[in-house]
Chains A and B, each alone.
Chain A
Amino acid sequence: MTALLEGRGICKRFGGLLAVSDVSFTLNEGEILGLIGPNGAGKTTLFNVVNGVYRSDGGTFAFAGQDITGWPPNKLVHLGMARTHQIVKPLNEMTALDNVTVGACFGRDYLRLRAAHGVAMQVLEQVHMADRANILAKHLTIAGKKRLEIARALAAKPKLLLLDEVLAGLNPTEVAKMLELIRAIRDQGVSIIMIEHLMHAVMNVSDRIMVLNFGLKIAEGKPEEVVRDPAVIEAYLGSADIADKLREVQ
């Protein structure tokens, strides 16, 4: 397997707080990497550093063999890295279709408007939102807005998709549908890093899991190994019981 994204010694400081501290990781092509950890562990900060929203205070990134350290988000999109936001950022006064068209227009292929419309329509169908194409984004439900986030990211035709808590706030049926969608995306050859708190869901779809706590990487490995790791149980899961139950679910 070849590495798609490689981070070496990533650091991010906010004043005196070391939000991400010397984190190194590798994502292989076609892989789903789960990223878990307690609130404030630095998961979203790591995403923000990876896709260039924040400038890192140390460390290097390589994406598809190219050094991308310090690149701004818009350039990374052209290279094939797209993301969704934990707190959704819909373009409110624009239709769902236009939201996704933005993704297609300024994505990896930098499509012209007409072609982008076509791609946007296809992607909306893929995420089962074609019937809501002409609704203003602000009028969508929260589940709809999360799907819209994914649709916009997908329209950019990414090689790597960063999913930030797309399952949070969804009901069980919606979670099941979303997991189905995530697998479908991976089957198209898109690699995924997903931040998630719903443990059984992460265990279920991830090939590997990485655990952060206070900005440090405390574990990484196959899902069933990670939940048995004492450091992970202490920092995040709470008790060995939960770890056992999670393994049973799987």
Chain B
Amino acid sequence: MIVRRPVLYLTLITAALFIYLPLRTNNVLLREDLILVSVSVILASNLNLMIGYTGYVNFGHIVFYGLGGYVGLYLATVWHWPLIVAALGAGVVVSLFALLLGLGILRLRGAYFALATIGILQAVQSFVANFDPWGRSTGMYLSFEVYEPLGGAMRALWITYYLVIGVMALSLILSLGIKISKFGLGLFAIREDEDAAVVLGVNTTVYKAIIYSVSAFLPAVAGTFMYYKNGMIDPSIAFEFIASLEGIVMLMLGGKGTVVGAALGGGLYEKLRSYLLTSPRLSNFHLVIAGGLLLLVILFAPGGLIGWLYSLVPRARKVIE
């Protein structure tokens, strides 16, 4: 039962704090900080469904976020759908796209699957950069009138912030729900030994396609909110390979396969990155640090922070999932 899981309450408390803290002091800087943290948590925890739960390394996870942004902005600005409906629409479209794609590429295993996901990222980027309705390589720019239905640009910033926090909470609850379900057990079996899983009765083809599709939904929704808030989107930003790699670093840092680990890794890495990016002497050095960090984690703490915690306190496994 999910209501008995401490992580559920941890998630709800965190989300409540994220909403309350910037609001109390009307602190816009803190809000902008926290929205980036939330997006990282969303990306890392949905990527975790593939890498941590199912054992399939997706190097192109950012494609869901970028594509979600494109579809959502198109629905919201050209078709004039309300923001939330547009975001959900983007989630559905991108999930269906992932489902079809997954049924094809999930026949591949290990390095071949990973390579295919890089190929998809590049292919989608090229496609969008040549797609007229989405502005080709210039992308799409929103005018200020777009924010009118939300009561102006200032309010729109706050509203999108709350929505992104909501998506973050949903991401963590989804991760937890899957982890403690029969579906999750089947995924773990696939991760540990796919051949054994089939022989034990798991329909691995269907399971893999479903989780690939599920892992696309909330990032696509968050992509709509974020690019709507930013007011613009273009193919080089939306489908940045580095962003995909950073997602993997976050996951390894926090501890793949765990709900809290993915969130912690996402949050910590984002804080580190913004510190490095803004400090005058270390700017653009953050990727070197990310690479070094990944190396250290893989060598000395392959289970990440949470894995390390488990090895110190085995009982923590039952509480910090």
A161 cross-chain contacts in B, Cβ below 8 A = none
In the bound complex, residues from chain A placing their C-beta under 8 Å from that of B201 are 73-74, 77-78, 103, 105-107, 110, 156
Assess the A105–B185 pair: CB atoms within 8 A.
Answer: yes
Q: 0/1 per residue, B87-99, Cβ < 8 Å to A?
A: 0000000000000
Chain B positions 293 through 304: 1 when the CB is less than 8 Å from some CB of chain A, otherwise 0: 000000000000
B276 at the interface (CB under 8 A from A): no
Cβ of A203 within 8 Å of any chain B Cβ, yes or no, is: no
The reply to whether A77 and B200 contact each other, CB–CB distance below 8 Å, is yes
A116 interface residue (CB < 8 Å to B): yes
The one of B188, B198, B204 in contact with A91, judged by C-beta atoms closer than 8 angstroms, is: B188
Chain B residue at minimum C-beta to C-beta distance from A93: B192
Contact in complex: B200, A103 (CB < 8 Å) = yes
CA distance A91 to B201 in the complex (A): 14
Contact with B along A23-54 (1 / 0, CB 8 A): 00000000000000000000000000001010
Residues of chain A at interface, number, CB under 8 A: 29
Q: Is B250 an interface residue (CB 8 A)?
A: no
| A77 proximity list for chain B (CB < 8 A) | 199-201
Is B182's CB under 8 angstroms from A74's CB? no
Write out, one digit per residue, whether chain A residues 89-110 have a CB within 8 A of any chain B CB (1) or not (0).
1111110001001110111001
* Cβ-defined contact, A113 with B203, below 8 A: no
Binary contact readout B189-209 vs A (1 if CB under 8 angstroms, 0 otherwise): 101110111111111100000
Residues from chain A with a CB closer than 8 A to the CB of B192 are 90-94
Measured between beta carbons, the chain B residues less than 8 angstroms from A92 are 192-193
Q: Flag if A83 contacts B196 (CB, 8 Å).
A: no
Residues of chain A lying within 8 A (CB to CB) of residue B189: 91, 94, 102
CB distance from A45 to the nearest CB of B (A): 15
Binary contact track B171-194/A, C-beta < 8 Å → 1, others 0: 000000000011001101101110
A51-B199, A72-B198, A152-B200 as given contacts; A105 in contact with B193, CB under 8 Å: no
Knowing A89-B193, A91-B193 are in contact, say whether A73-B186 is a contact too (CB < 8 A). Answer: no
Interface size on B, as a range, is 10 to 19
Which residues does chain A contribute within 8 Å of B202, judged by CB atoms? 74, 102, 106
Neighbouring A residues of B197 by C-beta, 8 Å:
91, 102
| B185 partner residues in chain A, CB cutoff 8 A | 98, 101-102, 105, 113
* Among A74, A101, A103, contact of B203 (Cβ-Cβ < 8 Å): A74
- At the interface, yes or no: A177 with Cβ under 8 Å from chain B? no
A44-91 contacts to B, CB under 8 A, are 51, 53, 72-74, 77-78, 82-83, 85, 89-91
Q: What residues of B have a CB within 8 angstroms of the CB of A102 in the complex?
A: 185-186, 189, 197, 200, 202
The CA-CA distance from A112 to B195 in the complex, in Å, is 22
- Return chain A residues, CB-CB under 8 Å to B182: 105, 112-113, 116
Name the distance in Å between B313's Cβ and chain A's nearest Cβ.
15
When C-beta atoms are compared, the residue in chain A nearest to B184 turns out to be: A113
**Chain B positions within 8 Å of A156 at CB level:** 200-201
Q: Which residues of A contact B198 (CB under 8 A)?
A: 53, 72-74
User: Once bound together, how far apart are the Cα atoms of A74 and B189, in whole Å?
Assistant: 13
Contact of B188 among A85, A90, A94, A110 (CB under 8 A): A94
Report how far A85 CA is from B192 CA in the complex, Å. 15
Report B's interface with A, CB cutoff 8 A: 181-182, 185-186, 188-189, 191-193, 195-204
* Pairs across A and B, CB under 8 Å, 9 listed: A51-B199, A74-B201, A77-B201, A89-B193, A89-B195, A94-B188, A102-B197, A113-B182, A113-B185
Chain A to chain B: the 8 pairs with minimum beta-carbon distance, closest first = A106-B201, A77-B201, A91-B192, A89-B196, A113-B182, A102-B189, A73-B199, A73-B198
